[in-house]
Amino acid sequence: LFTPSSTQVYANSDDEEDKEKKCVEATYQFYINSTVSTYADMIDCQDCSRNFSAVKLNRTNLLFIVVDKICDDCDAAYPVISQAPREVNETEEEEIVCQSAKNPRKRVRAYECHHSDPREDSSECGCASLQISCLSVLLIIISVTQRWASTIS
């Protein structure tokens, strides 16, 4: 009634939209000087001002940013920057590639691998598994002893 079979499906398409295409996307990147831990400034608009500050959080790669609510006059002067990637045309792609080549990102390679941190407290690590294994060994010894005692009597 039921027999194993393999089904093969071949799909051929000559449609242009189904073929893979090269796609370059651009996103905004923001850099802060590595020597500066806090930064604060004010943006002046026509009838209002907007304060902002950025603070690097110690021992993380996080940046905490606090910004005043945007006022209506600032909307036109400073449009919203989307964080979603957007597709670029060939001219923009060429410009992006050239700028990246002229200003490469500085990457600092770690000199050694850090397996531990002195701030970690590992005194309680593994205690639960140790208790479980001791308990299981104790139960095995008790059951073997009882079986041995029952075979003797």
Q: Give per-residue pLDDT as tens, 95-130.
A: 888 888 887 777 777 677 767 777 777 776 665 555
146: in domain: no
CA distances, 16 to each of 20, 58, 87, 100, 143 (Å): 9, 51, 19, 31, 73
Q: Do 107 and 31 contact (CB within 8 A), yes or no? A: no
Q: Do 20 and 76 contact (CB within 8 A), yes or no? A: no
What confidence score (pLDDT) does residue 136 get? 81
Q: Has residue 75 got a pLDDT over 80?
A: no
Q: Has residue 17 got a pLDDT over 80?
A: no
71: in domain: yes
153: in domain: no
From its phi and psi, is residue 126 left (phi > 0), alpha (psi between -120 and 50) or beta? left
Domain range holding 62? 21-104
121: in domain: no
1: in domain: no
Report the SS3 class of residue 56. strand
| Domains: count for the chain | 1
59: in domain: yes
